[in-house]
Amino acid sequence: MSRLLVTGSLGFSGRPTVVALKKLGHEVFILDNHGDAKDVFLVGIIDADLENIFEEIKPQAVIQLAAR
């Protein structure tokens, strides 16, 4: 399946989206500004070093759900 980066993935819309994508077999990476999961890039979307994050995980697609 796909390698996906989901922003805002610990919020109201993001959490169920990540669960559904994982159930479908996708490899999901989380970018959010709160949370304590080990697979989370803890940084706000505005402050994120996206170039390095993209280089590290090489996502095939990004789902943007971050509110701020």
Pick the CATH number of 3-64 from 3.10.20.600, 3.90.1150.10, 3.30.930.10, 3.40.50.20: 3.40.50.20
Amino acid identity of residue 35, one-letter, is G
DSSP lists the bridge partners of residue 63 as 6
pLDDT at 16: 93
Q: In Å, how far are 17, 28, 43 from 6, measured between CA atoms?
A: 9, 7, 13
Nearest-5° Cα angle at 29, 27 to 34: 150
* pLDDT, position 58: 92
Side-chain-side CA neighbours of 51 within 13 Å: the count stands at: 0
Rounded to whole angstroms, the maximal C-alpha distance in the chain is 30
pLDDT at position 50: 81
Residue 64 confidence (pLDDT): 92
Residue 8 reports pLDDT greater than 60? yes
Per-residue pLDDT tens for 12-65? 888 899 999 999 999 988 887 766 655 565 555 666 678 888 888 899 999 999
